């Protein structure tokens, strides 16, 4: 009798240990009786993060443009993120569907839940959300060891970038997500977080929409010092060179029109830090094209230079290198 009791108790403990529960980005508690073995992803970034979490082998369906890593291209397609094929998803009998809160339609996610499928919604709006999401996906898939390693590596790399660029002079940035209509990013969008990481200032950070439409006139009025575009794929985006007609714009006058591939800037995955590194280098280039403020011409002693640097007229590193303020700001420095 005693051995039977011990056996039943151990079985109960094993069952409890097999159950997994996490809170998704919509605030819903997602529970599974055991780690997911058949997963469907409804967003390219979710697919990539599942692979990062070590759960790529459990993916049985993904949406179009799920192209990284290369193994993702061989997984069955179930429509696109805007119009997923519900019939195909149900036929795959997934025990977990990873959705995109702001990308997949509410009606689609409600229908999937009504069909009895477990849905986990992901919405990484900030850089710190990426490793947290990877850890949660690892818990749901039973691949915590891999997920935790990936999350730790991301946090370490992010911390290094923050340290490197935390005190750099601000650069007003216009990020062009698309050219017709002219789309940018608001302050509550992860790309805005990347701009801030590099010491940039998103000129439309005050907008609440994640991908607002803006006018050319609004961009000109905001006077960005750098314009960054991504477009589609890895080709220089259409419309970036159109800004060259506005010759008095700081970004144009100083040739600060930059390109970062879309999949490195527009997907909240570990590769976003690759895009961040490229953006940070571009903004350093923009700083390097600033001209010396007249006040620095007469800053012959150390105290005068310190005052000028404190007032934002020049990058201290440039002065230390003896470049005579070649990378310093002009009087019309954007504020």
pLDDT averaged over 10-residue windows placed end to end, the chain, 335 residues? 47 59 96 97 98 98 97 97 96 97 94 96 96 98 98 98 95 95 95 97 96 96 96 71 95 96 95 98 96 54 60 46 38 33
Confidence at residue 294, expressed as pLDDT on a 0 to 100 scale: 53
Please check whether residues 68 and 87 belong to one and the same domain.
yes
Within 10 angstroms of residue 218's Cβ, the number of other Cβ atoms is 16
- Please tell me the distance from the alpha carbon of residue 148 to that of residue 162, in angstroms, as a whole number: 21
Please check whether residues 71 and 41 belong to one and the same domain.
yes
E strand or H helix at 156:
helix 144-165
Confidence at residue 237, expressed as pLDDT on a 0 to 100 scale: 74
Please check whether residues 62 and 103 belong to one and the same domain.
yes
Residue 213 lies in a domain: yes
Residue 149 lies in a domain: yes
Is 179 within 8 Å of 232 (Cβ atoms)?
A: no
Inter-helix orientation angle 144-165/129-141, to 10°: 180
Cα dist from 199 to 14, 173, 186, whole Å: 49, 10, 17
Domain that holds residue 59: 15-156
Confidence at residue 332, expressed as pLDDT on a 0 to 100 scale: 34
Residue 331 lies in a domain: no
Residue 335 lies in a domain: no
Tokens of 275: 């895009």
Confidence at residue 141, expressed as pLDDT on a 0 to 100 scale: 98
Residue 318 lies in a domain: no
Please check whether residues 25 and 148 belong to one and the same domain.
yes
Please check whether residues 183 and 221 belong to one and the same domain.
yes
Please check whether residues 171 and 143 belong to one and the same domain.
no
- Please tell me the distance from the alpha carbon of residue 291 to that of residue 253, in angstroms, as a whole number: 12
Tokens of 321: 């290198």
Please check whether residues 227 and 126 belong to one and the same domain.
no
Confidence at residue 329, expressed as pLDDT on a 0 to 100 scale: 40
Please check whether residues 193 and 272 belong to one and the same domain.
yes
Residue 7 lies in a domain: no
User: Nearest-CA neighbor of 237 among 258, 256, 222?
Assistant: 258
Residue that has been written with the tokens 């490195």 in this structure: 264
Q: How many domains does the chain have?
A: 2
E strand or H helix at 250:
helix 250-253
> Dihedrals φ, ψ of 60, to 5°?
-115, -10
Planar angle of CA 50, 276, 282, nearest 5 degrees? 155
Please check whether residues 239 and 278 belong to one and the same domain.
yes
Domain CATH number, residue 187: 3.40.50.1980
Residue 1 lies in a domain: no
Tokens of 129: 């959300």
């Amino acid at each position: 009798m005693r051995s039977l009791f011990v056996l039943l108790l151990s079985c109960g403990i094993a069952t409890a240990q097999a159950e997994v529960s996490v809170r998704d980005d919509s605030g819903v508690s997602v529970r599974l009786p055991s780690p997911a073995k058949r997963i469907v992803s409804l967003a390219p970034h979710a697919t990539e993060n599942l692979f990062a979490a070590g759960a790529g082998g459990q993916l049985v369906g993904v949406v179009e443009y799920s192209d990284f890593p290369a193994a993702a291209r061989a997984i069955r397609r179930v429509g696109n993120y805007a119009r997923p094929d519900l019939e195909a998803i149900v036929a795959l009998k997934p025990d977990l569907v990873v959705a995109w809160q702001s990308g997949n339609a509410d009606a689609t996610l409600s229908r999937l839940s009504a069909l009895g499928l477990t849905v986990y919604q992901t919405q990484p709006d900030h850089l710190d959300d990426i490793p947290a999401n990877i850890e949660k996906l690892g818990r749901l898939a039973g691949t915590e060891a891999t997920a935790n390693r990936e999350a730790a590596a991301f946090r370490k790399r992010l911390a290094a970038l923050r340290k490197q660029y935390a005190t750099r002079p601000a650069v007003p940035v216009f990020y062009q997500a698309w050219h017709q209509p002219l789309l940018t990013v608001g302050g509550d969008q992860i790309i805005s977080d990347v701009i801030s990481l590099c010491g940039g200032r998103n000129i439309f950070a005050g907008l609440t929409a994640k991908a607002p439409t803006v006018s050319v006139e609004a961009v000109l009025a905001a006077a960005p010092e750098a314009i960054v575009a991504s477009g589609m794929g890895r080709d220089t985006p259409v419309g970036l060179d159109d800004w060259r007609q506005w010759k008095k714009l700081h970004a144009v006058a100083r040739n600060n029109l930059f390109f970062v591939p879309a999949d490195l800037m527009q997907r909240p995955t570990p590769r976003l830090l690759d895009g961040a590194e490229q953006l940070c280098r571009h903004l350093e280039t923009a700083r390097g094209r600033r001209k010396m403020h007249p006040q620095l011409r007469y800053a012959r002693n150390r105290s005068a230079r310190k005052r000028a640097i404190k007032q934002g007229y020049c990058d201290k590193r440039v002065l230390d290198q003896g470049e005579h303020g070649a990378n310093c700001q002009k009087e019309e420095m954007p504020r």
